[in-house]
Copies of this chain bind each other. A is one copy, B any other.
Amino acid sequence: MMQFLKRMSKKTGLSPGSLIYVGEKKVESVKVNVIDYDEEHVLEKEVTDVHECFEFKDTETATWINISGIHDVGILEKIGDHFGIHPLVLEDVMNTHQRPKMEDFEDYVFIVLKIIRFDVEKNEINSEQVSLIVGPRFVISFQEREGDIFDPVRERIRKGKGRIRRMGPGYLAYALADSVVDNYFGLLERLGDVLEKMQLELMDAPRTETLQSIYELRRETILLRKSIWPLREVVGGLERGESSLFAESTRPFLRDLYDHTIQVIDTVETVRDMLSGMLDLYLSSVSNRMNEVMKVLTIIATIFIPVTFVAGIYGMNFENMPELRFPFGYPVALLVMLGIGIAMLVYFRKKGWI
């Protein structure tokens, strides 16, 4: 649960730029896929030796190199050498505790994104890091494990339909980032289902477990928020055209992406507000029930304590208690008790308690 606090210090004392994998190893072997395309042709292959994809670096065609699995220092170093990537960038690719960020190294742009998955069963949020290196004629994407999140993009390239084949690596990078943001909408929808279920539960019969899960969801939302907030700056930076690697014609799409990002952030904030509201509602409904319990106790106690006292009096064994010998002593005593009880009830009704 405190995962966000863990293993941060693995690298303490190392020289900066030292490559070391920081994170859980999520996949056995590294897979490298290359898609090389222009308006006319598409070439797709899975390479076993990373050298195979070096030839695409300076071709006129756009090249997308996707690397699933980022724990193999050797492969990253080779790519870094060939494509002229700064060691600190490679270090960041391997360190999965990055916040989303965008860095412009003139020759290429380095983008870190987060894919977030909501584990409905455990009510838990997991994040996975996606890094993009966008060069003039290529995009290199790094994923922690083979994922299906980029499949629609791949499909669009293969089918050759749409702008994607025409508009080069900048647009490709946009399309990949767009997939990541689209993924958040799915996540928020599933969160919405959980929220709705909780709300119904809350109205029906609030239980201690409901409270527990509201708190958990709130904690998850805090973490989610932390992952998504910096995205705003990342996409905003791209949209303001800070890098020349993104063509002017890509600008409206980046603006659209920015709008989506804002919408995601907005929704996360709304979820937070909703959760606070649900907490408040839970707490005040609990305190309402408590009040009801107290009232019942008070009513029963305050009716019976005085009449029990009356019964106690006539249970005393004094020799000289004239009432005990009155022929109607007993029924009168009963009537007195009844009277006290009714008086109490009338008082409570007047007070508005019953």
Contacts and interface: CB of A to CB of B under 8 A. Distances in A.
Interface of A: 1-2, 4-9, 11-17, 86, 88, 91-92, 97-99, 101, 103, 105, 151-152, 156, 161-164, 175, 178-179, 182-183, 185-186, 188-189, 191-193, 195-196, 199, 205, 208, 211-212, 215, 218-219, 222-223, 226, 252-253, 255-256, 259, 262-263, 266-267, 269-271, 273-274, 277, 279-281, 283-298, 300-302, 304-309, 311-321, 323-330, 333-334, 337, 351-353
A191 B5 contact: yes
A271 B5 contact: yes
A294 B301 CA distance: 11
Copies of this subunit: 5
Contacts of A192: 2, 5-6
Contacts of A152: 12-14
A318 B304 contact: no
Nearest to A289: B291
Contacts of A296: 298, 302
Given A15-B164, A101-B259, A333-B316, A222 B182 contact: no
A219 B185 contact: no
B295 A293 contact: yes
Given A15-B161, A88-B256, A311-B315, A196 B305 contact: no
Main secondary structure of the interface of A (DSSP, over half): helix
A273 B309 CA distance: 51
Contacts of A183: 12
Contacts of A255: 88, 103
Contacts of A9: 182, 185-186, 189
A274 B219 contact: yes
Contacts of A328: 320
Nearest to A151: B13
23 contacts: A1-B199, A2-B193, A2-B195, A5-B191, A8-B267, A9-B185, A15-B162, A15-B164, A99-B263, A101-B259, A105-B252, A211-B288, A222-B270, A293-B294, A294-B294, A294-B298, A297-B301, A297-B302, A304-B308, A305-B308, A308-B308, A309-B311, A318-B329
